Structure 1
Amino acid sequence: MANKDRNKTLLLELGKLPENNQCADCSAPDPDWVSYKLGVFVCLNCSGVHRNLSNISRVKSIRLDFWDDELVKFMKTNGNATGRATYEKAVPAFYYRPQQEDCAVLREQWIRAKYERMEFTGETKYPPLAYTTGFYEGMLWKKGKEKGQFQRRKFVLSEKEFTLAYFNKEDPSKGPKALISIKDVNVTFQPEKIGHAHGLQITYQKDSHTRSIFVYHESGEEIVNWFNAIRAARFAYLKTAYPTGSDKELRTRITRNYLKEGYMEKTGPMQKETFKKRWFILDSQDRKLLYFKSQLDAEELGVVFIGTDTNGYSVSECIPKRTRGNRWRCGVTVDTPDRQFVFMCEQEREQREWVEALRQVISKPMQPQDYTSKSHVTSIHTTGDS
Structure 2
Amino acid sequence: MRCHFGKPSSASPSPASLGAEALRDGGREGSAMADRDGNRRELLELLKMPGNTRCADCGAPDPDWASYKLGIFVCLNCSGIHRNLPEISKIKSIRLDFWDDDLVKYMRAHGNLGARAKYEAVVPLYYYRPQAVDCMVLKEQWIRAKYERQEFTADQTDECKDSAGNKEGFLWKRGKDKAQFLLRRFVLSEREGVLKYFTKEDIKGPKAIMPLKVLNAMFQAEKIGNPNGLQITYIKGILSRNVFVYHERGKEIVDWFNAIRAARLHYLKTEFPNAAAAELIPRITRNYLKEGYMEKTGPKQREAFRKRWFTLDLQERKLLYYKDPMDAYEQGAVFIGNKDHGYQVKEGLPREIKGKKWKAGVTIVTPGRQFLFTCENEKDQRAWMEALNEVISRTMMPQDYAAEASFRRQS
TM-score norm. by structure 1 comes to 0.95
The aligned counterpart of 2:186 is: 155
1:53-108 superposed Cα distances (whole Å, 9 cap, x missing partner): 00000010100000111111111110001000110000000110000000111111
- What is aligned with 2:18? none
> Which residue is 1:277 aligned to?
307
Residue 372 (structure 1) shift: 2.1
* Correspondence for 2:170 among 122, 129, 139: 139
Displacement of 1:369 in angstroms is: 1.8
Residue 265 of structure 1: SS of its match in structure 2?
strand
- Tell me whether 1:164 sits opposite 2:195 in the alignment: yes
Q: Please tell me the residue identity of whatever aligns with 2:107.
A: M
Question: After the TM superposition, which residues 3-82 of structure 1 pair with which residues of structure 2 at under 5 Å, given as runs?
Answer: 3-82=35-114
Match of 1:98 among 130, 134, 146: 130
Deviates more, 1:110-119 or 1:318-327: 318-327
Mapped to 1, the partners of 2:179 and 2:306 lie a distance apart of: 22
Q: Aligned partners of 1:320, 1:219: CA distance in 2, in Å?
A: 51
Q: 1:339 aligns with which of 369, 372, 375?
A: 369
Q: Which residue is equivalent to 1:223?
A: 253
Moved more, 119-128 or 199-208: 119-128
Letter in 1 for 2:274: T
* Equivalent residue, structure 1, for 2:392: 362
CA distance in 1, matches of 2:177, 2:288: 27
Shift of 1:128: 3.8
Q: Which residue of 2 aligns with 1:384?
A: none
* Superposed CA offset, 1:251-305 (max 9, x none): 0100011100011110011211111111100000111111111100001111111
| AA aligned opposite 2:110 | N
Contact 1:314 1:362 in 2 (8 A): yes
Matched residues, number: 379
- Equivalent residue letter for 2:180: Q
Shift in Å, 1:172: 4.0
Letter aligned with residue 86 of structure 1: K
* Structure 1 residue ranges (4+ consecutive) displaced by more than 6 angstroms after TM superposition: none
Q: Is the 8 A contact 1:37 1:58 kept in 2?
A: yes
| Structure 1 partner of 2:360 | 330
**What SS is found at the alignment partner of 1:161?**
coil
| More contact order relative to length (CA 8 Å, sep ≥ 6) | 2
8 Å contact kept, 1:304–1:380: no
The alpha-carbon deviation at position 319 of structure 1 amounts to 4.2
Aligned counterparts of 1:305 and 1:246: Cα–Cα separation in 2: 28
Query: Residue deviations 1:104-153, cap 9 Å, x none?
Result: 11111111111111111133459748x95332011000000343110000
> Is contact 1:132-1:232 (8 Å) kept?
no
**2:275 aligns to what SS in structure 1?**
coil
Structure 1 window deviating more from structure 2 (62-71 vs 365-374): it is 365-374
Q: For the Cα contact (< 8 Å) 2:164–2:263, is it kept in 1?
A: no
C-alpha displacement at 1:16, in angstroms? 1.1
* CA–CA separation in structure 1 for the residues paired with 2:291 and 2:317: 14
CA distance in 2, matches of 1:145, 1:236: 29
In structure 2, do the counterparts of structure 1 residues 280 and 2 end up closer, same or farther at CA, with 3 Å as the change threshold?
A: same
Distance (Å, rounded) in 2 between the aligned partners of 1:278 and 1:26: 33
Secondary structure in 2 matching 1:378: helix
Q: Is the 8 A contact 1:275 1:326 kept in 2?
A: yes
Instruction: Report the Cα offset of residue 380 of structure 1.
Output: 6.8
User: Do 1:305 and 1:379's aligned partners in 2 also have CA atoms closer than 8 Å?
Assistant: no
Describe the superposition over 1:1-42 as per-residue Cα deviations: whole angstroms up to 9, x where unpaired.
311111101100111112110100000001010011001110
Residue pairs, 1:297-308, within 5 angstroms = 297-308=327-338
Kindly report which structure 2 residues correspond to 1:131-280, keeping only aligned pairs within 5 A, or say none.
Answer: 132-169=163-200, 171-172=201-202, 174-280=204-310
- Unpaired runs of at least 5, structure 2: 1-32
Identity of aligned residues (%): 60
1:288 aligns with 2:287: no
Deviation track 1:184-213 (CA, whole Å, cap 9, x = no partner) reads 111000011111111100000011111100
Give the conservation status (yes or no) of the 8 Å contact 1:302–1:380. Answer: no
What is the SS of the residue equivalent to 2:47?
helix
TM-score (norm 2): 0.89
* More deviation, 221-230/146-155: 146-155
Residue aligned with 1:258, SS: coil
Q: Could you tell me how far 1:376 is from its partner in structure 2?
A: 2.3
The CA distance in 1 between the partners of 2:362 and 2:352, in whole Å, is 14
What displacement does 1:379 show?
8.4
Partners of 1:303 and 1:380 within 8 A in 2: no
The whole-number CA distance in structure 1 between the counterparts of 2:205 and 2:75 is 47
Matched letter for residue 348 of structure 2 = C
